[in-house]
Amino acid sequence: MIRYEGKTVIKLTVNGSVHELAVRPSDLLLDVLREQLGLTAAKPGCKNGDCGACTVVIDGWPAKSCLVLAVEAEGHAILTVEGLGGTAAVQRAFVEENAFQCGYCTSGFLMVCHALQTQHPTLPEEYVIEEWLASNVCRCTSYEEIRAAVGRLYPPEDAP
Amino acid sequence: MAIGESIPRKEAWDKVTGRAQYCDDLPVTGLLEARLLTSTCAHATIVRIDMTRALAVDGVKSILTGDDCPELFGPLVQDRPALARGVVRYAGEPVALVVAQDAPAAELAARLIEVDYAPLPLVLTPSQALADGAPLVHCPVNGYKKVVTDMYPEAGTNIASRYKIRKGDVQAAFPKCTAVVRQRFALPPSDHLAMEVRTARAEISADGQVLITTASQAPYTVKKQLAEAFLIPAGQIQVKVPFVGGGFGGKAPVVLEILAFLASRSVGGKAVRLSIPREQDMASAPGRLGLEADITLGADGDGLIRAAEMTYWLDCGAYTDIAPNMTKAIAVDCTGPYHIENLHCDALCVYTNHTYATSFRSFSHESYTFCIERAMDLLADKCGLDPLEFRLKNAIRPGSLTPTQVLCSDSLTGDLTKCLTGVKALSAWEGGRAVPIKQDTVRAMGVACFWKSANPPTDAISGAMITFNSDGSVNLNTGVVEMGSGGQTDLAQLLAERLRIHPDQVHVVMPVDTRTAPENWKTVASLTHYMAGQAVLRAVDDLIAQLRQNGAQAFGCPPDEIEVANGRVFSKKNPEDFIAFKDIAQGYQSPLGESIGEPVLGRGGFMLKGLSLLSPETGLGQTGPAWTLGAQVVEVEASLKTGSYRLISASTVMDVGRVVNPALMHAMVAGGMSMGISLASREAMTYDAQGIPQAPNLRSYKLLHIGQEPDYRVAFVETPEEGSPYGMRSYSEHGIIGIPAALGNALSAAFGRPLVSLPLTPERILNGLEEGGHDPV
């Protein structure tokens, strides 16, 4: 008989709440968020770190949750789209600029943009925005809508 | 009013809060897990499958192979087994299906199945497949059950079907031409790459009710195909489709649903989830077709095209799926939107040992358009004409006949001249010649036109149901799948316009459940506004008639004196005295407490009319209700030494009939353009000599990322299509169509060589240059 085995109880801090979870050593943070906590905003797109649909924010920085083991995430603050509520500036910006179509990559882009705004409170250089957002792939939009949404996060200070 | 307003998508907030649920977001408790083992050979006999070790894995419930499913599948001809039976015809073909207690067990067991293959000779391109003595992918090719009548497999060959267009007299016309170009093209297959990987779930209740939950563009087809294949009454099958994370045609075929059903059946009907990794989504599930073409165009001394002869060979891969219809669609529109009186075209659907192909955004019009529009540039050059002016000269116009000899009118085809002059201004067209800007660096523009009609079944249907809420707002329920193409928001706007209410007052049921939503053929072909749209308008008319009845009784006047507008019902004679929808739509209660009228429930149905199959000998006939056409320009800055280039701008002017939602239509068209640039500049499914896909993952198969995109410019022409809701034309797929060609034309101008293949990578451009390129005959 061939067996896999071994589950460990860990504590994950997600969207401000602490959860006790039984996980295998190989369980991905992405799968644990989705299947144990029902936080399905982060999506599997490749499970290889290439598409960014699974991006969450860990300690203020974007991270691909398919490249993070659940056991590695213990002791860190994890934020998902569900944790934004509906009040984050980036959510309204994405709606106003039509920065999504099918919506599958959207959670990942939202978290990258949210972290960008946190780490760069004032408008960064264009290349910085591109470097941050090039971690993720969108198959529907032309990206110009996502750029415009990022623009909305940095209103001109001298606007009337 | 609702039309012309840039309202956000109806589901916008669901999508930015994570509340929008896709198939795999549904709870997983209580599900068994199914995983696939796929073929490692492109063409081989299966000698032995040993499941001993796999069956020993703790938690494995069942393992299925082709022996467990004798049924064959396919929407046009039934040539595809659910699991390979005795032979595999492409690398990635499903060979075995494991059902287990959980994912690790299923994955481990799939790895432990041992399969011995005896390789067979293989064919990887249409050229190879049509060579004398080529190995046959299917034998006999005409031995399968046809689902439709217009399939023409050719015995003893790899030809799955052929469509012929014969118009005018090509033989007589070519000798009179003063400029003739002939060019061959070869485009590789690629992948849809919807961000959501396909997935499906199935369960079968004790009394035989089948529930399928799937990421599909065609829930009603899933129901129909399962019912027919497994002899289940269709009413016992329920198909649910939540939000779909991108389709682009790739989720129109019925694939994983069949496997999930088999998996559930093998474990006594228990609920099973079939998940596949991205790698299988690319290599095993169907992709975009490859295409070879040979095009000859001839023009007279005035630069008017007098004759065209062309052959298209579609690489449909190992199974036909919907590819014969794409072959037909390419034949129907084969010339592009030009006035050509003498035409000879053969379009062949050819089996190879590639991953099989299915519909791809625009029904693969982007592929043949690359070929014809590159040939147009070659001919313009030979005539000494500006490529854009050359297209203007030859633009299709009222009175022209399409390749299948449908008489063109503004209503039927739209106005290409306006699109071309529009895109000339929008792109600041410079004449199509390379302009040096510094040492070894040039800027160049390329133009391409496109058109597309649809190829639905001639009897395809849609339906709509509208109910009221107690606040007077309405709920719209159609069988349209929300996968990003925005059809539901278009429908909400059509509804709001007709009922004369604000679109905010329209709630749209987004998930589809075949038990509760009226049948909608499929969410494909950019036909939502046309088919479901007409059903919606009829449902609104039905609502209005019932509101009038209630109003007539409430006001004590004839129904035709009653007006319905702005959420109110009133008599035309006294608009100040009105009853709000909320007080009358569920029946009216008078101030005296009398119950008046009935609850209002709107329903509308729509069936396509007046379409025909093509004449097998000449192609005469009409396959779609109308055309959408447009013109596109791409501008590049190219480094002549390195072959690299930067995209400067991309412009589209499209005749959409009526602009219903300016912002969303702009975004939809720009999104299509982006997909076209990604496809043309970097995408290909590459196979080695043994037919093994080399890059079925997103690490190697690169898509366009942010920072690589041009400045997008989009403008619309509005020539109404008669009979379509508010004159709208199809638009959601079309942004992609001319972009690969326009990029090819721009780069050919920049490098001074005709580029005849995709993708247009620096390496391939440079290699082409080193080889001396391919000169036109």
User: Cα separation of B298 and B776, whole Å?
Assistant: 13
From residue B767, alpha-carbon distances to B445, B687, B746, B772 in Å are: 22, 19, 18, 8
B693 phi, psi to nearest 5 deg: -65, 135
* Both structure tokens of B220: 């009603």
Question: Does residue A95 lie within any of the structural domains?
Answer: yes
**% of chain B surpassing 70 pLDDT:** 99
Same domain? For B388 and B491 the reply is no
Question: Confidence class of residue B769 from pLDDT cuts 50, 70 and 90?
Answer: low
pLDDT > 90: percent of chain B: 98
Is the domain of B448 the same as that of B318?
Answer: yes
In terms of DSSP bridges, do strands B512-513 and B711-717 run parallel, antiparallel, or are they unpaired? unpaired
Please state, in angstroms and rounded to a whole number, the distance separating the CA atoms of residues B731 and B733.
6
To test the contact with chain B by mutation, choose from A15, A36, A101 the residue with the greatest count of B C-beta atoms within 10 A, namely: A101
Task: Verify that B72 and B218 share a domain, yes or no.
Answer: yes
- Cα–Cα distance list, A42 to A34, A45, A54, B28 (Å): 7, 9, 4, 16
| Strand stretches in B492-580, DSSP E | 506-508, 512-513, 562-565, 568-571, 574-580
- Residue B26 and residue A58: Cα distance in Å, rounded? 25
Q: Is residue A2 part of a domain?
A: no
Residue B237, φ and ψ in degrees, nearest 5: -110, 125
Q: How close does chain B come to A117, measured CA to CA in Å?
A: 17
Q: Test A102 with B245 for CB contact under 8 angstroms.
A: yes
Q: Which residues of B touch A48 (CB under 8 A)?
A: 278, 697-699
Say what the alpha-carbon torsion angle B381, B384, B390, B393 is, to the nearest 10 degrees.
-150
How far apart CA A71 and CA A61 sit, in angstroms, is 18
Tell whether B60 and B203 lie within a shared domain. Answer: yes
Of A4-8, B325-329, B463-467, B708-712, the one with minimum mean pLDDT is A4-8
State the residue for tokens 């290409």. Answer: B416
- Structural domain of residue B603, as residue ranges? 461-607
From CA A76, how far away is CA A97, in angstroms rounded? 32
A138 contacts in chain B (CB < 8 Å):
195, 706
DSSP conformation class of B745: H
Considering the domain architecture, whether residues B451 and B572 belong to the same structural domain is answered as: no
Separation of alpha carbons A42 and A49, rounded Å: 13
Is A147 found in the same domain as A89? yes
Which residues on A lie below 8 Å from B21 (Cβ)? 40
Tokens of B259: 């496997």
B259-274 pLDDT, tens digit per residue, is 999 999 999 999 999 9
How does pLDDT run across B68-90, given as a tens digit for each residue?
Answer: 999 999 999 999 999 999 999 99
What residues are paired with B33 via a beta bridge? B100, B273
Say what the pLDDT of residue B461 is.
98
Picking from B584, B607, B630, the residue at the C-terminal end of a domain is B607
Q: Are residues B431 and B487 in the same domain?
A: no
Same structural domain for residues A74 and A138?
A: no
Pairwise CB contact (< 8 Å): A101 & B105: no
**Do A91 and A42 lie in a common domain?**
no
Residue B259 within any structural domain of the chain: yes
Instruction: Calculate how close chain B gets to A101, using CA atoms only, in Å.
Output: 4
Q: Are residues B664 and B763 in the same domain?
A: yes
Structure tokens at B507: 């709630």
Question: Is B215 in contact with B25 (CB distance < 8 Å)?
Answer: no
Residue B245 to residue A104, Cβ atoms within 8 A? yes
Together in a domain, A33 and A70: yes
Residue B384 lies in a domain: yes
Tell me the residue type at B282: M
Interstrand relation of B342-351 and B305-317 (parallel, antiparallel or unpaired): parallel
- Angle at CA of residue B200, ends A139 and B254, nearest 5°: 80
Instruction: Give the best residue of A2, A139, A150 to mutate against chain B (max B CB count within 10 A).
Output: A139
Does residue B51 have a pLDDT over 90? yes
Rounded-to-integer distance, Cα B668 and Cα B189, Å: 24
The tokens describing B69, both together, are: 């499913």
Specify the residue for token string 């579609």.
Answer: B314
Q: Work out the widest C-alpha separation in chain B, in whole angstroms.
A: 91
pLDDT classification of B768: cutoffs 50, 70, 90: confident
B439 phi and psi angles, rounded to 5 deg = -50, 120
Same domain, B526 and B652: no
CATH number at residue B200: 3.90.1170.50
DSSP letters for B80-135: EESS--SEE-STT-EEEEEEESSHHHHHHHHHH-EEEEEE-----SHHHHHSTTPP
CA-wise closest residue to B426 among B669, B130, B77: B669
In-domain check, residue B506:
yes
Shared domain check, B226 and B114: yes
Write down the pLDDT at residue B770: 53
The answer to whether residue B408 is domain-embedded is yes
Distance, in Å, from the CA atom of B649 to the CA atom of B631, rounded to the nearest integer, reads: 14
In a domain? residue A18: yes
Domain count, chain A: 2
Q: What is the pTM of this model?
A: 0.97
Residue B190 maps to a domain: no
Q: How many structural domains is chain B composed of?
A: 3
The pLDDT of B551-576, averaged and rounded, is 96
Helix (H) or strand (E) holding B214: strand B210-214
Judging contacts by C-beta atoms under 8 Å, the chain B residues touching residue A51 are 195, 698
Q: Do A36 and A90 lie in a common domain? A: no
Are A100 and B707 inside 8 Å of each other by CB? no
Task: Write down the residue that tokens 């129109």 correspond to.
Answer: B252
DSSP string, B128-182: HHHSTTPPPSSSSTT-SEESSS-----TTSSEEEEEEEEES-HHHHGGG-SEEEE
The DSSP symbol for B355 reads: P
B119 has a pLDDT exceeding 90: yes
CA–CA distance, B448 with B520 (Å, rounded to integer): 34
Tell me whether residue B147 is in a domain. Answer: no
Asked if residue B700 and residue B551 are part of one domain, the reply reads no
Does one domain contain both A78 and A12? yes
pLDDT digits (tens, 9 = 90+) for B464-502: 999 999 999 999 999 999 999 999 999 999 999 999 999
| Residue B133 C-beta-side C-alpha neighbours within 13 Å | 0
CATH number of the domain encompassing residue A17 = 3.10.20.30
Residues of A in contact with B705 (CB under 8 A): 134, 137, 143
Neighbours of A63 (CB within 10 A): 21
The DSSP code for A73 is: G
Residue A14, domain member (yes or no): yes
Residues A42 and A66 in one domain: yes
Chain B residue with Cα closest to A147: B706
The one-letter code for the residue type at B10 is K
Q: In this complex, which of A24, A86, A143 lies closest to B709 when CB atoms are compared?
A: A143
Query: Quick one: A39 and A67 in the same domain?
Result: yes
CATH (domain of A112):
1.10.150.120
Whether residue B531 contacts residue B520, with contact meaning beta carbons closer than 8 Å, is answered with: yes
Q: Exposed/middle/buried for A5, CB within 10 Å: 0-12, 13-18, 19+?
A: exposed
Phi, psi of B373 (to 5 degrees): -75, -30
In a domain, B146, yes or no: no
Q: Which of B390, B447, B361, B432 is nearest to B737 (CA)?
A: B361
State residue A157's pLDDT score.
Answer: 67
Domain that holds residue A26: 8-47+56-82
Q: B107 and chain A: CB distance < 8 Å anywhere?
A: no
CB contact under 8 A, A46 and B705: no
Which whole number is the average pLDDT over B198-214? 98
Q: Are residues B313 and B452 in the same domain?
A: yes
Return the CATH number at B438. Answer: 3.30.365.10
Looking at the complex, report in whole angstroms how far the Cα of residue A22 sits from the nearest Cα belonging to chain B. 15
Give the DSSP H/E element, type plus range, for residue B655: strand B645-655
**How far is B335 from B200, CA to CA, in rounded Å?**
39
B17–A91 C-beta distance less than 8 A: yes
Contacts of B481 in chain A (CB under 8 A): none
Q: A89 lies in a domain? A: yes
Quick check: B248 and B360 in contact, CB under 8 A? yes
A62 located within any domain:
yes
A22, part of any domain: yes
**Residue B351 shares a structural domain with residue B478:** no
DSSP letter for B752, please. T
Low-confidence residues in chain A, pLDDT < 70: 1-5, 157-160
AA identity, residue B543: L
Q: Domain check: are A60 and A90 in the same one?
A: no
pLDDT of residue A3: 55
Whether residue B13 is contained in a domain is answered as: no
Last residue of a domain, one of B538, B573, B607: B607
Indicate if A78 and A88 belong to the same structural domain: no
Assign B704 a pLDDT band (cuts: 50, 70, 90): very high
In a domain, A20, yes or no: yes
| Residue pLDDT, tens place only, B82-118 | 999 999 999 999 999 999 999 999 999 999 999 999 9
> Cα distance from B194 to chain A (closest Cα, Å)?
6
Q: Which of B71, B519, B553, B28 is nearest to B265 (CA)?
A: B71
Distance, in Å, from the CA atom of B88 to the CA atom of B654, rounded to the nearest integer, reads 44
Q: Compute the average pLDDT of residues B400-421.
A: 98
Same domain? A76 vs A89: no
Query: How many angstroms separate the CA atoms of B233 and B224, rounded?
Result: 9
Whether A78 and A91 share a structural domain: no
